[in-house]
């Protein structure tokens, strides 16, 4: 058996077309959605991601502001920039690209973003809203995973989902979203005793560890849906996920590739969150 591919580039293209149409409608009401992107330091991967975010804004007709600051910026200076964006009426979404330099407290910076503009969904108010089922911004990567499941018409009710990884930005919110759709959810992590015993029971597996080959073919139930959130480099320096793609695709029913899977969906859901923030303002 060979798994069907869930193509994050194709789904993103489709969703961004919908976003662009809604942006046009909002502009007709006099509101242009605006995103502020703040990058501190010169991490080359982060530079690529922020450029792609600005480009996604251009492609969907949104306004964007990109601020890049040197690593020597102080946390107080960064907090002042966040505050300026909180008070800028042309900005509906603010994101501070992570990771931040070591001398900054990322959580403190995130909490300085107004929850109404927290389009990354990282603020504790956003996390609390997701936890309790109240309206709020959902973190873009797990939100993108949910859209991928929706795109294949997958019914989560009563299914067993295993999330590998417990980060605040992927693993934990992913588990909450799956739970909200009435899946039975298991969160596995570095102290899990028998990961394979868990994943073999799973109808849906989300791998979000940041380590190659965390999931291999012998760990997957035939027909399972496998979503790969990892971004690593293999021995040849090529981008790869957490899943042994070549092996697992022979067992799984559905699988996301890396690159071209969850990654592009992260930026697409950022566009959706920013648009919805602006729509709320216009309502
Ligand atoms: N403030 C934030 N910081 C970070 C986030 C985030 O959502 N908000 N997530 C990641 C980085 N990230 C977006 O910021 C991100 C990573 C990867 C991709 C992506 O499209 N990847 C491509 C491959 C790109 C490549 O070739 O290098 C893919 O998977 O196809 C998008 C966004 C951490 N920081
Ligand atoms: Mg992410």
We report the CATH number of the domain holding residue 227 as 3.40.50.720
194 among known catalytic residues: no
Look at residue 278 and tell me if it is in a domain. no
User: Among 49, 66, 95, 258, which is best to mutate for testing ligand 1, by the most ligand atoms less than 8 A from CB?
Assistant: 49
**CA pair distance 149, 163, nearest whole angstrom:** 14
Q: Could you give phi then psi for residue 53, rounded to 5 degrees?
A: -70, -45
Say yes or no: ipTM exceeds 0.90: yes
Look at residue 78 and tell me if it is in a domain. yes
Note whether 84 and 160 are same-domain residues: no
DSSP-assigned states of every residue in 133-168? T-S-PPPHHHHHHHHHHHHTT---TT-EEEEE---T
The CB of 267 under 6 Å from ligand 1? The reply is yes
97 among known catalytic residues: yes
Query: Which residue, 154, 227, 11, 65, is CA-closest to 19?
Result: 11
Q: How many distinct structural domains can be found in the chain?
A: 2
| Confidence at residue 281, expressed as pLDDT on a 0 to 100 scale | 87
Look at residue 167 and tell me if it is in a domain. yes
Identify the CATH number of the domain in which residue 50 sits.
3.40.50.10860
Note whether 163 and 81 are same-domain residues: no
The CB of 69 under 6 Å from ligand 1? The reply is no
Number of the ligand closest to the Cα of 170: 2
Note whether 149 and 236 are same-domain residues: yes
pLDDT in tens, 18-65: 999 999 999 999 999 999 999 999 999 999 999 999 999 999 999 999
Note whether 253 and 155 are same-domain residues: yes
Note whether 189 and 79 are same-domain residues: no
Note whether 38 and 111 are same-domain residues: yes
Note whether 243 and 151 are same-domain residues: yes
Note whether 189 and 233 are same-domain residues: yes
Note whether 148 and 256 are same-domain residues: yes
Look at residue 1 and tell me if it is in a domain. no
CB atoms within 10 A of CB 267: 20
Query: Which residue, 47, 100, 36, 44, is CA-closest to 74?
Result: 100
Q: What is the DSSP code (8-state) at residue 246?
A: H
Look at residue 249 and tell me if it is in a domain. yes
Note whether 174 and 257 are same-domain residues: yes
Q: Which domain holds residue 219?
A: 140-263
| Confidence at residue 63, expressed as pLDDT on a 0 to 100 scale | 98
Note whether 196 and 107 are same-domain residues: no
Atom 19 of ligand 1, nearest CA residue: 263
Look at residue 124 and tell me if it is in a domain. no
Look at residue 3 and tell me if it is in a domain. no
Note whether 97 and 209 are same-domain residues: no
DSSP H helices, the chain, are 8-28, 44-60, 75-86, 106-112, 124-132, 140-151, 171-180, 195-199, 245-248, 262-282
The CB of 91 under 6 Å from ligand 1? The reply is no
Helical packing angle, 171-180 and 124-132, nearest 10°: 30
Cα atoms in the 13 Å half-sphere on the side-chain side of 251: 22
What are 103's two structure tokens? 């001398």
Look at residue 63 and tell me if it is in a domain. yes
Segments in the chain below pLDDT 70: 1
């Amino acid at each position: 058996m060979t798994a069907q591919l869930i193509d994050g580039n194709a789904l993103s293209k489709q969703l961004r077309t919908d976003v662009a149409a809604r942006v046009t409608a909002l502009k007709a009401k006099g509101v242009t959605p605006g995103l502020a992107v703040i990058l501190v330091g010169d991490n080359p991967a982060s530079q690529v991601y922020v450029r792609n975010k600005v480009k996604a804004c251009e492609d969907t007709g949104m306004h964007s502001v990109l601020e890049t600051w040197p690593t020597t910026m102080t946390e107080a200076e960064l907090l002042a920039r966040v505050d300026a964006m909180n008070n800028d009426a042309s900005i509906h979404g603010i994101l501070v690209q992570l990771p931040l330099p070591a001398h900054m407290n990322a959580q403190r910076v995130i909490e300085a973003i107004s929850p109404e503009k927290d389009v990354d969904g990282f603020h504790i108010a956003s996390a609390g809203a997701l936890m309790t089922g109240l309206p709020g911004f959902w973190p873009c990567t797990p939100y993108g995973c949910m859209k991928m499941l929706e795109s294949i018409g997958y019914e989560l009710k009563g299914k067993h989902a295993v999330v590998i990884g417990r980060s605040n930005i992927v693993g934990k919110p992913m588990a909450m979203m799956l739970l909200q759709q009435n899946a039975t959810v298991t969160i596995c992590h570095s102290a899990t005793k028998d990961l394979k015993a868990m994943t073999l029971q799973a109808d849906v597996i989300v791998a979000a560890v940041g380590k190659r080959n965390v999931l291999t073919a012998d760990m997957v139930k035939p027909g399972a849906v496998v979503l790969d959130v990892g971004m690593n480099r293999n021995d040849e320096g090529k981008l790869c996920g957490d899943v042994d793609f070549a092996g697992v695709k022979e067992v799984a029913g559905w699988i996301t590739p890396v690159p071209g899977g969850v990654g592009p969906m992260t930026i697409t859901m950022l566009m959706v969150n920013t648009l919805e923030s602006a729509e709320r303002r216009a309502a």
